[in-house]
Structure 1
Amino acid sequence: MKTNLALIGAIIVITISILLDSPPPSEDSIYYQFQEDDESVDVDAMQIERSASSSLEFILEEMNEVNGKIVETYQEYEIHKDAEGNIISRIPTSNYQYIKYEKE
């Protein structure tokens, strides 16, 4: 009896480990959508604006006075620029920096 229970328990453990160890479906298979109609899009007709350069910059978000001291809050942004130096997108990150100094 104990041998049968141990054997069934081992089979269950092996089955669960096989299911948990199998790789998840790929990103393409999750989000892939079939086009059911005959509408096709010419890739050359689509305008895709790519950034020529990207940089991380801290931008002043706010200034507060706390206990007689001035606190400046800077948030980091990922800035994408085109070849001419025009800003295409400005994406905020979760990084902040704080500067605290005495009020004169």
Structure 2
Amino acid sequence: MKLKTFISVCFLLVTLGFAAYLDSPYSFINKEYAYSTDEPVMAQPVEVQPSSDVPVLEEKLEKIEKVDDYIVETYQEYEVYKDKDGNVIKSEPTGKIDTLQYWNDQQ
């Protein structure tokens, strides 16, 4: 009985060790990938200008109401088109409305 559990525990440890080896960057599966921790990564930021054709989605506060003991804020989503200088050319509502309700503790 003890020999059977000892063999089972050894088999489990060998299996876990082999799985850890396969998961490591030094295994034969990952030999095509180069790993280096001693060299810093040199990345240059890329400046991308947003296109003026694509609208930006913004939510604007439409109204604030007091309902019972709550304050209800209603927001409307708009598609905002801007030119190259950041000036708003056109603003269209999308039809999506969000409401935020919270307790009025200043009564």
Structure number with the bigger relative contact order (C-alpha 8 A, sep ≥ 6) is 1
TM-score (norm: length of structure 1):
0.50
Greater helix share, structure number: 1
Larger Rg: 2
TM-score, length of structure 2 as denominator length: 0.48
